[in-house]
Amino acid sequence: MPVKVLIVDDSGFFRQRITDILSSDSRLEVIGVASNGREAVEQARKLKPDIITMDVEMPQLNGIEAVKLIMRDSPTNVLMLSSLTHEGAQVTLQALEAGAADYLTKDIRAWIDKSDSLHNIFVERVVALGRNKRFIRSTAFAPRPLKSGQSSTVHTFSSDKGGAEPSSPSRSNQNSLTSRSQRTDPGLSSSLRNARQAHFPAHCRLVVIGSSTGGPAALQKILMELPASFPYPILLIQHMPKAFTSVFAARLDQQCKISVKEAEDGDKLLPGRALLAPGGHQLIIESRSPDRVKILPGDERVTYRPSVDITYASVAKAFGNKVLGIILTGMGADGADGAKLLKKSGAVMWAQNEESCTIYGMPQAVVKAGLADDILHLNDIGPLLKNNGKI
């Protein structure tokens, strides 16, 4: 059966353009359209689509509020379409916190030019998310702990085309996310209830985590488990555009006890600090300067910028068997080639299991190649990191 899609956008042009793209693929069936968030909530309840594509900024009821209501009343995977701006990044991350599965940037030039690349990426993302019936993203988004010196007021962006206004986190939203979290396997995964341990490098010097679709929520869940005294540096390679990574790093830094920042050329590897690879670039470690990161311009010939493969490969050469590599949810196979080099150097590899992935692509590639030392539920990875492979 084809994947049933509901399209939500206040622009008639985009509603038609999205309909044309999706209707051209026999795996997909557009079963309805809506021009605002309120219609989206009603249509989701009535039509029961497999996936919803949703604009962030809409009249009457914005995309974020619509996602909250949809996830409360008729849980459905939602793919947000977001502008490639700082404000768009802020709003998109709020939509992911509200329960959206993933996002795609909305570059109007590519849509007008009918880009084949955009067409293929969009269709494959909709198909993959539409076929996935698991709702596990929001388990990561609990009320945020405050670091020393932080105010209890956090800044959020309204979906109006204005700007930012300070506001307090919504208590009702936090409660709804907590209750949904409790419905999605709050305990240890069955694979670890007996063993309660995983492989861990004997002389670990670095943790490297790669992720893509579903990664923002997965990363947050893991990193929020770690204490400020976490003894290892962490590198984060999340497929994300340039405008988004600085915003994402800042939000993680606010939400986690460890320090998180967007990596800059020359940043030192420090215990208890995570460096997020900047969008549009590559992050590597050079053997001659293994205590700091090097940021390289993104080569257009490389599909992923940043690329998990490129970072894994450089880390394998610089640190050998003193690395813990982790591959999380995401489409495609980025990370599998780099994982081969890590394993050849004696490093340890963990892969997220299918049950807890938004998209079981990148971890599956590592697992199928026989490169994973342990296949772990998302809920277990943070506690295992915190306790050097033991729970």
109-136 pLDDT, tens digit each: 777 776 677 788 899 999 999 998 765 4
Confidence (pLDDT) at 189: 53
Token pair recorded at residue 157:
């962006």
Q: Mark 160-194 as b/e (b = at least 16 C-beta within 10 Å).
A: eeeeeeeeeeeeebeebbeebbeeebeebbeebee
| pLDDT per position as a tens digit, 269-301 | 999 999 999 999 999 999 999 999 999 998 888
Name the pLDDT band for 347 (thresholds 50, 70, 90): very high
The CA-based angle 293-295-296, given to 5 degrees, is 140
Residue 155 bears catalytic tag? no
- Our answer to whether residue 203 is catalytic in this structure is no
307 given a catalytic annotation: no
Query: Residue 107: what pLDDT?
Result: 76
For residue 361, pLDDT beyond 80: yes
Question: 54 - beta bridge partners?
Answer: 8, 80
Token pair for residue 47? 């039509």
Which of 9, 55, 309, 334 is labelled catalytic? Answer: 334
Tokens in use for 141?
């988004």
pLDDT given at position 115: 66
**Strand 348-352 versus strand 374-376 pairing type:** parallel
- The burial class, CB within 10 Å (0-12 / 13-18 / 19+), for 85 is middle
| Domains of the chain listed by start with CATH number | 3-133 (3.40.50.2300), 188-386 (3.40.50.180)
Q: Which of 39-53, 158-172, 214-228, 334-348 has the lowest mean pLDDT?
A: 158-172
**Residue 273 CB contacts under 8 Å (≥ 6 apart), including other chains:** 233, 234, 258, 259, 260, 261
**In the structure encoding, which two tokens stand for residue 326, read together?**
């982790």
| Catalytic residue from among 82, 211, 212, 259 | 212
Q: Tens digit of pLDDT for each residue in 130-186?
A: 998 765 444 334 444 446 544 433 332 222 323 332 233 333 333 333 232 333 344
Query: 59 preceded by cis ω (within 30°)?
Result: no
- 309 versus 158: which is more confidently predicted? 309
Distance CA 382, CA 391 (A): 10
Could you tell me which of 105, 125, 93, 92 has the C-alpha nearest to residue 21? 125
Contact 240, 228 (CB under 8 A): no
Q: Is 157 helix (H, G, I), strand (E, B) or coil?
A: strand
Q: Specify which residues 45 forms β-bridges with.
A: none
pLDDT 10s digits, 193-250: 444 789 999 999 999 999 999 999 999 999 999 999 999 999 999 999 988 999 999 9
Can you give the pLDDT at residue 391? 80
Nearest residue to 3 (alpha-carbon basis) of 101, 76, 63:
76
Q: Is the pLDDT of residue 105 over 90?
A: no
Please tell me whether residue 297 adopts helix, strand or coil conformation: strand
CB atoms closer than 10 angstroms to residue 291: 11
**Rounded distance between C-alpha atoms, residue 317 and residue 314, angstroms:** 5
Distance CA 340, CA 333 (A): 12
Q: Please report the pLDDT score of residue 147 as a whole number.
A: 60
Report the alpha-carbon angle 330-359-96, nearest 5. Answer: 80
Contacts 24+ apart (CB under 8 A), 145-151: 145/224, 145/255, 145/256, 145/257, 147/254, 147/257, 150/254
The pTM for the full model equals 0.84
Give the per-residue pLDDT at 58: 84
Please tell me the predicted confidence (pLDDT) of residue 128. Answer: 94
- Average predicted confidence (pLDDT) for the chain: 85
Instruction: Spot the catalytic one: 82, 102, 181, 239.
Output: 239
Chain-centroid distance of CA 322 in Å reads 26
Cβ-Cβ contacts under 8 Å for 13 (sequence gap 6 or more): none
Contact criterion met (CB below 8 Å) for 144 and 49: no
